[in-house]
Amino acid sequence: MTSAGETRRVLIVTGQHFAVQPRKVDLHFLADSLLARGASVDFFVWRLSPVSRLLKDGRFDLARRFRFNHWQEMQPGFRQFVWHVPLHPMNFKIGLLNRLAAPVFRRFGRFLPGDVLACLCDYTHILVESGPSPLLTPVLRAHAPQAEIIYHAADRLSTIGVPPVVEEVLSQSLALYDRVHVMAEALREDFPPDVRLDYLPHGIDKAAFDRPSASPYSQGRNAVSLGDMLFDAGAIEVMAAAFPEWTFHLFGRKAEPQQQRGNIIVHGEQPFAAIIPFLKHADLGLAPYRDGAGAAYLSQSSLKMIQYSYCRLPIVAPHFAAKGRAHVMGYDPADPASIRSAFAAACHFDRSIIATGAILDWDETADRLFPMAETEDGCGSRGRR
């Protein structure tokens, strides 16, 4: 029997992530789902140059494990091309330099390697991740008129500090995309009403969560915090000081407490499989986001909030992250009394009423994001809108 995946060939264009890396993000889970069902997936990875090393970009050390400027097979049906150039598009943080560089960055797609251009006719779907990658879309569309091109709005461009010209190019080229995918309701307002916009939250690996696992906790009550995005160490300090009978488990490379406490355990960055038992057997989930620009959309699109919910964990988080979730106890990050009150409320929340039916697994998410494409020979158009 032919699976739905076998007609799909997907290109993921990203300036953030490698096809294989220690910390998995949504792109990797989507790729895993597609590959498991017979699709082929390629990663085109860029935003790398010798300047990356000078800037101490952590991605450069990982990049050196791969071949530059060649297709590299990671496994059957799964390839990666790491594009290393003399100077990659960057935000110089100085208006004059950004204006001088803008004409070159705007035309950066014209320098795409021939080995990549030659493959563009073959893809049914091309996912362009937020970041610098919208600079490449005009050339991707010109060479792949048959593909469904999706803008993956994982981040607000102003929040992640891309060169200003990227925002200009995205605004001017929205008509080249078949769809815009947002994972946070707050991002809807960033796009004009005539854009086909799909709101689709993260999926999760339900099978991994549903497998039996032993509790990693030896005793007591345990609260777990995943990730270091906008991590608010001050909120953790307030909770840990006020509730010494609880143990606070922090996961994430930069998730560090303000001071060492006997009831705070720092686990650092860990493989996802090792973290799952900590989530399944925890008593509370923590999302200690700092307030600031973009915080609302980042919390809405948070994968950890979905994972906490699937494990039926009451969640303690700032008010801006609590919208639409009855099992999230909200607090004001600037008010310690509010933080203590939210934690106390979460301690007594009835976990049995937390609904999980609307949470998707990665197969369901992949099928919605990369629907079956019409078969087309060569680079013929599929009758785009």
| Domain 206-353 fold | Rossmann fold (3.40.50)
pLDDT classification of 374: cutoffs 50, 70, 90 = low
Quick check: 1 pLDDT over 70? no
pLDDT of residue 105: 97
Percent of the chain surpassing pLDDT 70: 95
Mean pLDDT of 37-47: 97
Going 206 to 210 to 213 to 218, the CA torsion angle's sign is: positive
120, 258 Cβ separation under 8 angstroms: no
Quick check: 375 pLDDT over 70? no
247: which 2 tokens? Answer: 């143990």
205: which 2 tokens? Answer: 């690996």
Mean pLDDT of 47-69: 89
pLDDT classification of 385: cutoffs 50, 70, 90 = very low
pLDDT of residue 7: 87
Output the DSSP codes for 11-43: EEEESS--SS-SS--HHHHHHHHHHHTT-EEEE
pLDDT of residue 56: 74
CATH match for 4-203+362-369 among 3.40.50.11010, 3.40.50.1370, 3.40.30.160, 3.40.50.720:
3.40.50.11010
What pTM was estimated for this model as a whole? Answer: 0.86
pLDDT digits (tens, 9 = 90+) for 133-148: 999 999 999 999 999 9
Query: In whole numbers, what is the pLDDT of the chain averaged over residues?
Result: 92
Q: Where exactly are the structural domains of the chain?
A: 4-203+362-369, 206-353
pLDDT digits (tens, 9 = 90+) for 234-253: 999 999 999 999 999 999 98
Higher pLDDT, 186 or 124: 124
pLDDT of residue 280: 97
Percent of the chain surpassing pLDDT 90: 80
pLDDT digits (tens, 9 = 90+) for 294-336: 677 877 788 899 999 999 999 999 998 888 789 999 999 999 9
Q: Given this chain, do its domains 4-203+362-369 and 206-353 carry the same CATH topology? A: yes
pLDDT of residue 4: 46
pLDDT of residue 295: 72
Higher pLDDT, 375 or 98: 98
pLDDT of residue 377: 56
